[in-house]
Amino acid sequence: MRALSTAATGMEAQQLNVEVIAHNLANMNTTAFKRQRAEFQDLLYQNLGQVGAASSDAGTIVPTGLQIGLGVQAGSVYRIGDQGSLSQTGNELDLAISGRGYFRIELPNGGEAYTRAGSFSRSPEGQLVTSDGYLVMPGIAIPEEARRVEVNQQGQVQVQLDGDAEAQILGQLELITFANEAGLEAAGDNLYLETAASGAANVGVPGQPGFGIIRQGFVETSNVDAVTEITALIRAQRAYEMNARVISAADEMLAASANLR
């Protein structure tokens, strides 16, 4: 009976759906987290009667045929890159991107990663780093004697030093965009890696066409909506229960046929 295996694929699909929803809810308070959505595809069909086959010598054809589906499979887990809300922190090294773009991060192995989580700090050398100590490129060192650090919307980092009437420009932050941001590989720790699906990194300055601007003293919050996720969770739970009920019904039908005398 095909219903057993078909319903089993449905249960597996809804299990994956619940796991994705659970991951979203677990990261409701994760800085700059982007929610995910599971997408599914129907499996192959068994053609018991071919659509369009000749049904008589007069040239008539079968209008619909007879196809039996074999269930469902996971197609992808898609990342939704909607802008999260900006939360004011008052920390001069907290930077949020309003619009498109990622900060470029240098990994300990020399590779590059990308993030929208702008909760930055100073390293022992005064350089701007992530919460894990990874360098924010292009590498800007803030003097220890700096009284105030200012980052304008175009990403220029300026400091006010004792005895100086004007602010000193230390460097320029860059933003990175991709043709297909959903194709980035999530590496954990709020970091993403470039892949063949994302396309090559495009480097630009905040405020340029196609690039967002920098908001100092803010961080981007998660774009997870609790109501939406709970609604999706209830729907997935009901779908799982219905597929389980199909398996129970199919099992009862098999038991009835096995007990025929």
Tens digit of pLDDT for each residue in 16-62? 999 999 999 999 999 999 999 999 999 888 887 777 777 777 778 87
Are 107 and 189 in contact by the 8 Å Cβ rule? The answer is: no
Is 90 exceeded by the pLDDT of residue 144?
Answer: no
Q: What is the pLDDT of residue 143?
A: 87
- 75 to each of 13, 35, 192, how far by Cα in Å? 10, 17, 21
Rounded distance, CA 186 to CA 189, Å?
Answer: 9
Q: What is the pLDDT of residue 90?
A: 86
Domain extents for the chain? 2-81+224-258, 86-220
Is 90 exceeded by the pLDDT of residue 146?
Answer: no
Q: What is the pLDDT of residue 45?
A: 82
Is 80 exceeded by the pLDDT of residue 219?
Answer: yes
Q: pLDDT band at 1, cuts 50/70/90? A: confident
| Residue 13 tokens, joined | 């699909």
| 3-state secondary structure at position 209 | coil
Write out the DSSP string of 32-79: T---EEEEEEE--EEEEE-TT-B-STT--B-SS-EEEE--EEEEEEEE
